[in-house]
A and B are shown apart, each in its own frame.
Chain A
């Protein structure tokens, strides 16, 4: 019995089995099957919830004492530093792509538009959560103002930061999430202008998704009909680089 069950044998057995799983996961068919689970989860969740099902909103006393940042804490490019030095006075958000009226909006213009406040929980894919109060302009308002074309299927977000490897950060969502009432372009967190670590001057809040979808340092929003040909075609920086799920509601 000790032969079957000693710790060493158990370890060797576990390692061999797991190594087998690793080898399996290099097989293209197995990989595809594993990755396609995302589609099942997306289908199941979208079947269970209405289009406008709201992410939980919290009370002010439930806000996290510190809202930690993740990913890029400062884009630190010459362009970004120049924008930051003037308090983002020269920064413009461009709305382009499949729209009839491309826009270029200043921070002051965004702040003067009707806005929404929401106290929501931010869930990082890593497992931590933080609750913060966001103020921003509903994305739907901007897309309507730009007269989005009916051929548009996805909304792309181009950012000012390059994650370590020099590739520009970008993200994308579909129209169900783009027109969701809680999807806002946030310029304030906990009643103060967004800090650089949390995405100044403007970040996406796409509640009902994990943190990596909430693109920081927004520079350009683009309506497109397909994600192919953009980056590596998987819809976002982490999706391209690390194989994260594009549908991050899971």
Chain B
């Protein structure tokens, strides 16, 4: 018996997909955003009401009023505003400076221009429509095409990196009365401290939604291959569809 069995195709090549700064930043974010989200909910529990404008306390009109979040999702697991703040304020500067470092690296090394920026063909309506349909049918790209981000991926990564994360950091800074005195324009930009607090909360939940969709996509696209590429950088090209 010579030659490979007709049922076993030769393995597809393994390529270096994610460089180390991307991998490091990704896992650092996984930890820090987890700490920031859960401790943030612990802080929110101290006054689970949200307002628009410059001020807002119990007698004022709240646009959102919630019960306290349960101990299973807050850090610490019982109500302790001081400890939640210590976790939050220790993680926040690490997170902010890591984003800054990533942005500078990505800009200098051409990662943004090469991998994230939309190309003309990405934005063709027919192309966008096909990408949406492919996602809806869970048809993931194969072969070399799997190495390029598709238009929905680009849009969500750009929205997270350049909108949600900076908004979270900047609105977070305006929670501080000291920063308000240092940079009064920043709190004006968001229309007041309580508006900034609302935006901070909305962005945190937008990011949590992104996180859940991101995990689902990794699971659907082949969790082992995807996880390996985010740990070692090495990624096996998905086989071309026959």
Bound pair (A, B): yes
Q: Which residues of A contact B (CB under 8 A)?
A: 1, 4-5, 11, 14-15, 17-19, 21-22, 25, 33-35, 37-38, 40-41, 44-45, 48-49, 53-56, 58, 62, 64-66, 68, 121, 123-131, 207-210, 238, 242-245, 248-250
Bound-state CA distance A124–B43 (Å) is 12
B209 within 8 A of A: no
Is the pair B35, A21 in contact by a Cβ cutoff of 8 Å? Answer: yes
CA distance A245 to B87 in the complex (A): 12
In Å, the complex CA distance between A238 and B80 comes to 12
Q: Is B5 engaged at the interface, CB distance under 8 Å to the other chain?
A: no
> CA of A241 to CA of B182 in the docked complex: distance in angstroms?
30
CA distance A48 to B73 in the complex (A): 34
Q: Which residue of B lies closest to A65 (CB)?
A: B59
Q: Assess whether B59 is in contact with A56, with CB atoms less than 8 Å apart.
A: no
A/B interface sample: 16 pairs, CB < 8 A: A1-B219, A17-B34, A18-B76, A21-B87, A22-B76, A25-B76, A44-B93, A45-B179, A49-B181, A58-B54, A68-B59, A121-B177, A207-B181, A208-B181, A242-B80, A245-B85
| Residues on A with beta carbons closer than 8 Å to the beta carbon of B85 | 125, 244-245, 250
Interface: B74 (CB within 8 A): yes
**CB <8 Å contact, B177 and A25:** no
* B residues near A131, Cβ cutoff 8 Å: 54-55
Interface centre among A44, A123, A242 (most CB of B within 10 A): A123
Determine the chain A residues whose CB is within 8 A of the CB of B183 once the complex forms. Answer: 48
Tell me if B's interface is mostly helix, strand, loop or mixed: helix
Bound-state CA distance A123–B193 (Å) is: 9
Residues of B within 8 A of A15 (CB): 72, 77
Cβ–Cβ < 8 Å partners of B58 in chain A: 68, 128
Q: By the criterion CB–CB under 8 Å, are B75 and A55 in contact?
A: no
Which A residue sits closest to B58, measured CB to CB?
A68
Does B60 touch A at the CB level, under 8 Å? Answer: yes
Measured CA separation A14–B208 after assembly (Å): 13
By a beta-carbon cutoff of 8 Å, the part of chain B in contact with chain A is 34-35, 38, 43-44, 46-47, 49, 54-60, 72-77, 80-83, 85-87, 89-90, 93, 175-184, 187, 193-194, 197, 215-216, 219, 223
Known contacts A243-B82, A244-B82, A245-B82; 8 additional CB pairs below 8 A are: A15-B72, A34-B86, A34-B90, A38-B89, A44-B93, A48-B183, A127-B44, A245-B85
Closest chain A CB from B38 CB (angstroms): 6
Please indicate the chain B residues that have their CB under 8 angstroms from the CB of A248 in the complex: 177
Are the CB atoms of B182 and A49 closer together than 8 Å?
yes
In the assembled complex, the CB of B51 is this many whole angstroms from the nearest CB of chain A, namely 8
Contact status of A243 and B86, CB under 8 A, knowing A127-B44, A127-B46, A129-B194: yes
| Interchain nearest-CB distance for A83 vs B (Å) | 28
Q: Which 10 A-B residue pairings sit nearest by Cβ, starting from the closest?
A: A249-B178, A49-B182, A127-B47, A37-B90, A126-B46, A128-B57, A45-B178, A243-B82, A126-B47, A48-B182
Q: Is the CB of A64 within 8 A of B55?
A: yes
The residues of B that contact A210 with a CB separation of less than 8 Å are 177
Closest to B180 in A: A56
Most buried by A among B72, B86, B175: B86
User: How far, in Å, is B132 (CB) from chain A's closest CB?
Assistant: 23
A11 touches B72 (CB 8 A): yes
- A129 to B81 Cα, complex, angstroms: 17
Contacts of A65 in B (CB 8 A): 59-60
A125 to B74, CA, bound (A): 17
Q: How far is the CB of B53 from chain A (nearest CB, A)?
A: 9
Contact between chains at A55 and B89 (CB < 8 Å): no
User: Which among B59, B85, B177, B182 has the highest number of chain A CB atoms within 10 Å?
Assistant: B177
Could you tell me the distance between the alpha carbons of A128 and B197 in the complex, rounded to whole angstroms?
10
Which residues of chain B are near A242, meaning CB under 8 Å? 80-82
Q: Are B75 and A21 in contact (CB under 8 A)?
A: yes
Query: Using Cβ atoms and an 8 Å threshold, which residues of chain A touch B56?
Result: 128-129
List of B residues within 8 angstroms of A121 by Cβ: 54-55, 177, 193
